[in-house]
Amino acid sequence: MTILRRISRQIVKNSRKYSSEKSSPEPKYPTRVFSGIQPTGSIHLGNYLGAISQWVQLQNQNKDLILSIVDLHSITLPHEPKKLSRNILELTATLLACGIDPNKAILFQQSKVSAHAELCWCLGCISTMARLAHLPQYKEKSENLKNIPLGLFVYPVLQAADILSYKATHIPVGEDQVQQIQLCQELARIFNGRFGETFPIPRSLITSSEYGRVRSLRDPSKKMSKSDPDEKSRICMTDMPDTIARNIKKAVTDFTSEVTFDPVNRPGVSNLISIHSFVSGKSVNDICQEVQGIDTGKYKFVVADAVISYVKPIQEKIGHYLNDVGYLYGVLEEGNAKAAQIANVTLKEVHEKLGMTVEGRKRDDIVAKCV
């Protein structure tokens, strides 16, 4: 009977302890926003409206914002080295022209901060092949490949390392991208559980607006994409006016001539209205009222003129920055140094948690014990 009572008391005690641990709040980390963008192809209007403009808002709200040009990710598939080098500079110029301020945010080149690759290895050692093979991003990109590069397989682990290197708490993503950071959250929990509290569990910062998913001009069932082989499917920030006008003129709409906003039943026309709304600053309702009596064919010219006027000053700034390559190098070098300073502190902590640090007093203690 006494033994049963002791067991019962121990169960209650353990239950209370477990309940206390479960209800205890997560350690608080300072709010930090991280995002990355690949230097593959020109930035299009969808990138700008759905991501870059959101970054500028966060930056201007004095958020701790870290932005990475993720060139390591861009070599997971075959690429042209010279083109990649050129794209890195063009992307830097474009981000600055779109409003990213290196004095308010950290803008850097991923490959120049070696902590990303090293942390990727550490996280890779607690990842499983089964988990990575089931990720939708991997399935989508590998389904048409005969020989699948290893880099494509471990891409999500590097993505997690990008985020966790800076102990980022929030990741701006579209509603359709939330699952992409789930692996990062899982790896952070696994590492914390095995080796002690180290990383915050990053949360999705949903960029939920009608601009978050700008559609392809040629197939409004898909997002506007840099990888789409049809160049008429997108509007790039560096496109000449005649190219912008041509692509919008070729945009797929429907057989109803009236201009109305109905994303479900009229996705093509609604996509044009959303784009027009952003670049003009007018509401969707105001636009629909203004263009009453204009058919969709003529409305495309209205949208084209509005887009051309909007991107013109941005294009002028891009040209200005590209004429001063030395300044672009300086921005990246300064950003690389700032990013490395943060990431290296995180990596040092990871080394200590993993038992990879044998220096100073700790090393002397270990040697003494060995002797």
Q: Indicate the pLDDT class of residue 360, thresholds 50, 70 and 90.
A: low
311 burial class (0-12, 13-18, 19+ CB within 10 angstroms)? buried
Tell me: pLDDT of 201 over 90.
yes
| 141 has catalytic annotation | yes
- Strands across the sheet with 65-69, in order? 106-109, 65-69, 33-37, 170-173, 203-206
Tell me: pLDDT of 247 over 90.
yes
| 226 has catalytic annotation | yes
Tell me: pLDDT of 364 over 80.
no
Q: Where are the chain's structural domains? A: 33-212+325-360, 231-322
Q: Indicate the pLDDT class of residue 143, thresholds 50, 70 and 90.
A: confident
27 burial class (0-12, 13-18, 19+ CB within 10 angstroms)? exposed
Longest dimension (CA), the chain: 91
Tell me: pLDDT of 155 over 80.
yes
Q: How far is Cα 99 from Cα 171, in angstroms, rounded to an integer? A: 19
- At 153, list the tokens: 């397989």
Comparison of pLDDT for 205 and 296, the residue scoring more:
296
Model pLDDT for residues 328-349, shown as the tens digit of each residue: 999 999 999 999 999 999 999 9
The pLDDT score that the predictor gives to residue 133 is: 86
Residues contacting 59, CB < 8 A, separation 6+ = 65, 99, 100, 101, 104, 105
- At 72, list the tokens: 């390591």
Homologous superfamily (CATH) of 231-322 is Tyrosyl-Transfer RNA Synthetase (1.10.240.10)
| 298 has catalytic annotation | no
What ranges make up the beta strands (E) of the chain?
33-37, 65-69, 106-109, 170-173, 203-206
Name the catalytic one among 63, 112, 226, 249: 226
Q: pTM of the predicted model, to two decimals?
A: 0.85
Which CATH class name applies to 33-212+325-360?
alpha beta
33-212+325-360 and 231-322: same fold? no
User: Locate tokens 């009222």: which residue?
Assistant: 289
Model pLDDT for residues 210-246, shown as the tens digit of each residue: 555 789 999 999 989 888 899 999 999 999 999 999 9
